[in-house]
């Protein structure tokens, strides 16, 4: 199919639908108009290929990808919320419900986990406690005075300190 005028004047058959309802391919090549019936310059409009099936297939692939991304995002949000709750000592089931059932569930779980005081760790099992040391029995006044006399003789306390401490020991009798 050829014919028509110049490059700005396509022939009438370029505007008449084919039997399958699609418009024919028209191209101005080397000074003449060429019509495509599927064997001309590419498989496109009017080549007998149903473009609707291609569009629907592309939409189906897009829909599946979006669905997979949504499911993956939900799984990530839930696992993150459960980890935050576990680390903060909160109920993981409540964190899961909040994440799935509210618009800002993950953010709420994050805030609750960070505002909650850290859970005190359980005491580690230890060996049986050693018996507590018994307090030393109080020393007698005589022992205390002897010790004070030894400190004075060794030059570790001054005469004034010795006299003050001696007076305190004697007053406690």
- pLDDT of 12 higher than 70: yes
Q: Which of 8-22, 47-61, 123-137 has the highest mean pLDDT?
A: 8-22
65 and 99 share one domain: yes
Calpha distance 20→59 (Å, rounded): 23
Q: Say if 124 falls within a structural domain.
A: no
Calpha distance 10→152 (Å, rounded): 128
55 and 86 share one domain: yes
144's enclosing H/E stretch is helix 141-154
Coil, strand, or helix at residue 155?
A: coil
- pLDDT of 91 higher than 80: yes
Calpha distance 107→91 (Å, rounded): 16
pTM higher than 0.85 for the full model? Answer: no
35 and 67 share one domain: no
Calpha distance 60→152 (Å, rounded): 101
**Tally of domains within the chain:** 3
59 and 40 share one domain: no
Give the domain extent around 65: 51-115
Mean pLDDT, residues 25-52 taken together: 64
- pLDDT of 114 higher than 90: no
Check residue 43 and give its pLDDT: 44
Residue 83 CB burial class (10 angstroms; 0-12, 13-18, ≥19): middle
């Amino acid at each position: 199919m050829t014919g028509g005028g110049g490059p700005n004047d396509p022939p009438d058959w370029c505007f008449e639908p084919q039997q399958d309802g699609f418009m024919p391919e028209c191209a101005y090549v080397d000074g003449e108009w060429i019509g495509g019936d599927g064997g001309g310059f590419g498989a496109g409009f009017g080549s007998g290929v149903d473009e609707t099936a291609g569009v629907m297939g592309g939409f189906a692939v897009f829909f599946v990808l979006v669905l997979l991304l949504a499911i993956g995002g939900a799984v990530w949000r839930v696992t993150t919320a459960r980890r935050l709750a576990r680390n903060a000592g909160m109920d993981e089931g409540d964190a899961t419900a909040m994440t799935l059932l509210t618009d800002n569930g993950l953010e709420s779980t994050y805030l609750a986990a960070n505002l909650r005081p850290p859970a005190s760790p359980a005491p580690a099992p230890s060996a049986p406690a050693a018996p507590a040391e018994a307090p030393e029995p109080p020393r007698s006044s005589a022992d205390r005075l002897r010790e004070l006399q030894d400190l004075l003789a060794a030059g570790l306390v001054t005469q004034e300190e010795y006299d003050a401490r001696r007076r305190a020991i004697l007053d406690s009798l």
